[in-house]
Amino acid sequence: MIRLEKRPQPSRGWVIGGPVLAVVLTMAAGGLMFAALGKDPVEAIRIIFWDPLFSQQFASYSRPQLLVKAGPLILIAIGLSLGFRAGIWNIGAEGQYIVGAICGAAFGLAFWPSESPLIFPGMVLAGLLGGFLWAMIPALLRVYARTNEILVSLLLVYVAEAMLASAATGWLRNPEGSGFPGSRTLSRHPGTDNPELIAGTGMHWGVLAAFVAVIAAYVVMNRHVLGYQIRLAGEAPRAARFGGVNAGRLVILCMGVSGALAGAAGLFEVSGPAGRISIDFNVGYGFTAIIVAFLGRLNPVGILLAGLLLALTFIGGELAQLMMGIPAPAIQAFQGMLLFFLLALDLLANYRIRLKGRAPA
């Protein structure tokens, strides 16, 4: 029999080792899954994790994709991690991402065909604001009506999707698009485009914003009183109140920041990689970012690495689909598995495992 014993302090080794081991175990379990699908597991893992970066054939295309995909994941996950640390669960980032994209795009399209250099900054602000306001719905309802923010933020994703459908087919539809759904292409118009800043790297304004967010979050969490209060509220809510932390203000702040960042991520996407508002431009970054946040242990640097890793699985997954006919959902299951292993291994950071019967020292 195995017995668990709570450690007096979390083990530092496992805090870092846990995610690494989780990745290894996920590769093993994922290999089994691919084998069950009748595919060569070793080849599949190589195609997903190695080829996008190092194969001569694909790397030139897929290396820039790494930053393109990691940018929104990191930007959203950084925002979510603040709330998750404080026990505030915004899981509707996908909805805030959509609303931010719609608001930002609407701003750009309102001034169409102006090419003023003020348009793009205005779109970014509109995106931030859209995500922020969408996140304020669950935040204010939690503070003033004690409504569970998990459920409200999630349900609002479906409302946002309905809004997106109506925008893409109705009020933001390209008037010159012969009736097809989807807006004008923002990325091919000076003034509204979010260009690649350094050719061949995939670096666009959104990726830059993600890096800035990582640094800012690191400073806030480790040095600033606000970061201290966020950690305090998450670890001991009653002690936080005793320490003068205003719980309601913290909810509004954390939800607002995560919503705004998700909204900005949405805007950067529709004005760059996705190019325009279409009925299905969102590919679930808002949900995958939850995995990124946890895999990075809610730590800014960890999130940076986790975002790159998950971006790799997206790109590698597409490649595996192309090369081996591995179905796209397999990658989603693969990402879910990663989160499972990570949560399971958390145990080792907080508990010591002992065999029963042996007298402890």
> Which residues 19-58 are close enough to bind other proteins by CB under 8 A?
37
Only segment of 8-16, 108-116, 124-132, 269-277 that touches other proteins (CB under 8 A): 8-16
Q: Compute the least distance from the CB of residue 191 to other proteins, in Å.
A: 28
Cis link prior to 113 (omega < 30° from 0)? yes
The tokens describing 108, both together, are 């750009």
* Residue 343: C-alpha distances to residues 142, 158, 167, 182, 295 (Å): 27, 27, 38, 39, 9
Pair 164, 282: CB distance under 8 Å: yes
Q: Which two tokens stand for residue 288?
A: 């995958």
Q: How many residues bind other proteins (CB under 8 A)?
A: 72
Q: How far apart are CA 321 and CA 104, in angstroms?
A: 33
Tokens of 286: 């808002």
- Written in H, E and C, the secondary structure of 290-303 is HHHHHHCCCCHHHH
Q: Which of 145/199 has CB closer to other proteins?
A: 145
3 state DSSP class of 336: helix
Q: Which is nearer to other proteins, 28 or 197 (CB)?
A: 28
Q: Taking CB under 8 A as the criterion, which residues in 104-143 touch other proteins?
A: 141
3 state DSSP class of 206? helix
Q: Which of 98, 250, 330, 349 binds other proteins (CB under 8 A)?
A: 330
Does position 359 interact with other proteins (CB under 8 A)? The reply is yes
**Complex with other proteins: residue 3 or 188, whichever CB lies closer:** 3
* Part in contact with other proteins (CB under 8 A); list of ranges 2-10, 71-79, 128-136, 189-197: 2-10
8 Å CB contact between 104 and 342: no
Q: Which residues contact 319 (CB under 8 A, 6 or more apart)?
A: 47, 48, 51, 52, 58, 62
Contact with other proteins (CB under 8 A) among 20, 60, 180, 241? 241
Of the candidate residues 25, 231, 279, 308, the single one contacting other proteins (CB under 8 A)? 231
Residue 314 as a binder of other proteins (CB under 8 A): the answer is no
Q: Which of 150, 279, 283, 308 binds other proteins (CB under 8 A)?
A: 150
**CA-closest candidate to residue 131, choices 254, 249, 248, 258:** 258
The contact pattern for other proteins, residues 209-228, with x = CB under 8 A and - = no contact, is --------------xxxx-x
Which residues between 168 and 207 bind other proteins (CB under 8 A)?
A: none
Give the nearer residue to other proteins in terms of CB position, either 179 or 238. Answer: 238
**Of 22-30, 38-46, 58-66, 243-251: span binding other proteins (CB under 8 A):** 243-251
Scanning 51-59, 62-70, 116-124, 157-165 for contacts with other proteins by CB under 8 A, the matching segment is: 157-165
- Rounded Cα distance, 137 and 116, in Å: 33
Of 14, 68, 95, the C-alpha closest to 258 is: 95
Q: Does 13 bind other proteins (CB under 8 A)?
A: no
Residue 56 or 238 having the CB closest to other proteins: 238
Q: Which is nearer to other proteins, 59 or 345 (CB)?
A: 345
Is position 277 an interface residue for other proteins (rule: CB under 8 A)?
Answer: no
- 12 touches other proteins (CB under 8 A): no
Q: Return the closest-CA partner of residue 266 out of 64, 89, 88, 106.
A: 106
Q: Which region, judged by CB under 8 A, interacts with other proteins, from 17-25, 196-204, 266-274, 333-341?
A: 333-341
Please count the other Cβ atoms lying within 10 Å of the Cβ belonging to residue 327: 12
Return the residue of 56, 179, 329, 355 that touches other proteins, per CB under 8 A: 329
Q: Does 340 bind other proteins (CB under 8 A)?
A: yes
In the set 9, 12, 178, 179, which binds other proteins (CB under 8 A)?
9
Angle at 69 between CA 63 and CA 72, to 5 degrees: 145
Q: What phi and psi, each to the nearest 5 degrees, are found at residue 163?
A: -65, -40
